[in-house]
Amino acid sequence: MASENPKKSQLYTRTGDRGESSLYNGERRIKTDRIFEALGAVDELNSSVGIAHHYCKKSDNGLVEQLVEIQCNLQDIGSNIATPRNDASESQLRNTAFDEGHVEKLECWIDSLDSQLPPLRNFILPSGGESSVFLHQARSICRRAERTTIPVVEANDADESVLKYLNRLSDYLFAAARFAAKHDGLEENIYKKAKSGREASVQTRSL
C-alpha cells in the first residue's frame, strides 16, 4: 500500500518551471537556447537508437553491443554540449571531453558492415523490416541532431569531435540498416520516380 505522505521524489526540482535550466557549469539559460535545442535532439536520437536496439536484439543480428556503446557515447556528447567550452573550469572540460577516437571506431564499424553489402546503385527507401526501418529512423533523427549541434560548435560551446561523431553516426546507421535487412532476409525498397498519370510502383531488391 502506498504511503499517504511519500518522500518528495528527486525526479522534479521545480527550478525549470519558468522556462530556464542549468548547464553543467552552473549557468542558467532559457530552454529555447541553442544548447538545449541540441541536447534535446541528441536525447531524442538516443531514444530512437534504443528502439532500434530492441528490435536488433529480437533479430539477433549482432548489432546490439555497438548500439549500446553508441548510446553511451551520445550520453557523453550530451555532457559535452551541456558544458560550454569557453566558460567552464579545467576539471569540467576534462570530465566532459569527447575523444575523437570514437569517430575512428565508427568508421571501422562502417567499413566492416559495408563490406558485407552489395554496392549501392540506386537511392533506397527506409524499408527492410523492423530493425532496418528503426535504424533508418534513427539515421534521420541523427541528421537533425547534427544540424542543431552545428551552431553550438561554431559558438565554441561544444567540441568539434562531437560534430564529427554525429556526422559519421548517420553513415553508420545507414549501413547498419542495410545490414539488418540483409540479416533478416528481407528486401529493401528502391526509389523510383513516379511518372505523371501513372500509379507509383514499388521496386525491391534482395540484399
Q: State the pLDDT confidence band at 132, using cuts at 50, 70 and 90.
A: very high
**DSSP secondary structure letters along 29-71:** EETTSHHHHHHHHHHHHHHHHHHHHHHHHHHT-S-HHHHHHHH
What is the residue type of 37?
A: E
Instruction: Please tell me the predicted confidence (pLDDT) of residue 3.
Output: 63
Instruction: Please tell me the predicted confidence (pLDDT) of residue 198.
Output: 65
Instruction: Please tell me the predicted confidence (pLDDT) of residue 20.
Output: 76
Nearest to 137 by CA among 174, 164, 169, 110: 174
**DSSP secondary structure letters along 71-109:** HHHHHHHHHHHTS-TTSS-HHHHHHT---THHHHHHHHH
Half-sphere exposure of 195 (CA within 13 A, CB side): 3
Instruction: Please tell me the predicted confidence (pLDDT) of residue 69.
Output: 98
Beta bridge partners of 190: 124, 203
Q: State the pLDDT confidence band at 152, using cuts at 50, 70 and 90.
A: very high
% of the chain surpassing 90 pLDDT: 72
**Measured between alpha carbons, how far is residue 177 from residues 73, 116, 120, 123, 130 in Å?**
19, 12, 13, 14, 10
Decide if 102 contacts 73 (C-beta within 8 A).
yes
Q: What is the pLDDT of residues 173-199, one digit of tens each?
A: 999 999 999 999 999 999 888 776 666
Compare 85 and 166 and report the one with higher pLDDT. 166
Q: Is the pLDDT of residue 202 over 80?
A: no
Q: What is the pLDDT of residues 76-109, one digit of tens each?
A: 999 999 999 988 999 999 999 999 999 999 999 9
Coil, strand or helix at 204: strand
- The reported pTM is 0.91
* Cell triple for 84: 560550454
Q: Which of 27-36, 170-179, 197-206 bottoms out in mean pLDDT, i.e. has the lowest?
A: 197-206
